């Protein structure tokens, strides 16, 4: 890509400072770039996982698959804190999906209990 006209025009150069976790691979090899993609990521201040969703027998799980808090009636957690792991990408889209799914669960429960 660096040899394309737009990048040549702006003087783009490859930064050849090796990432310490990836020095076991030859710089710029496919394995090096795979390693870089794994280690050279950050949360960008979008932490998740404080109320992990999981099965009842998981001692670290806070909510069940219906997003209900274990041991507390009528309380759900419907945000990115239910993700058991931080995704490598931005958390915006998954958080929106969790909210949409959670609202569908609440509507379904409310409609069933009012039949």
Residues catalogued as catalytic: 46
Half-sphere exposure of 24 (CA within 13 A, CB side): 3
Q: Which two tokens stand for residue 54?
A: 């999981």
> Within a 10 A sphere around the Cβ of 48, how many other Cβ atoms?
20
């Amino acid at each position: 890509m660096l040899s394309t006209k737009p990048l040549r025009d702006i003087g783009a150069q490859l930064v050849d400072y090796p990432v310490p976790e990836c020095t076991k691979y030859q710089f710029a090899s496919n394995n090096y770039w795979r390693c870089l993609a794994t280690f050279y990521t950050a949360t960008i201040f979008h932490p998740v996982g404080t109320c992990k969703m999981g099965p009842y027998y998981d001692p670290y799980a806070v909510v069940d698959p219906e997003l209900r808090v274990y041991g507390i009636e009528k309380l759900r957690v419907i945000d990115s804190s239910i993700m058991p792991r931080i995704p490598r990408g931005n958390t915006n889209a998954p958080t929106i999906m969790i909210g949409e799914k959670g609202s569908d669960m609440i509507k379904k429960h409310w409609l069933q209990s009012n039949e």
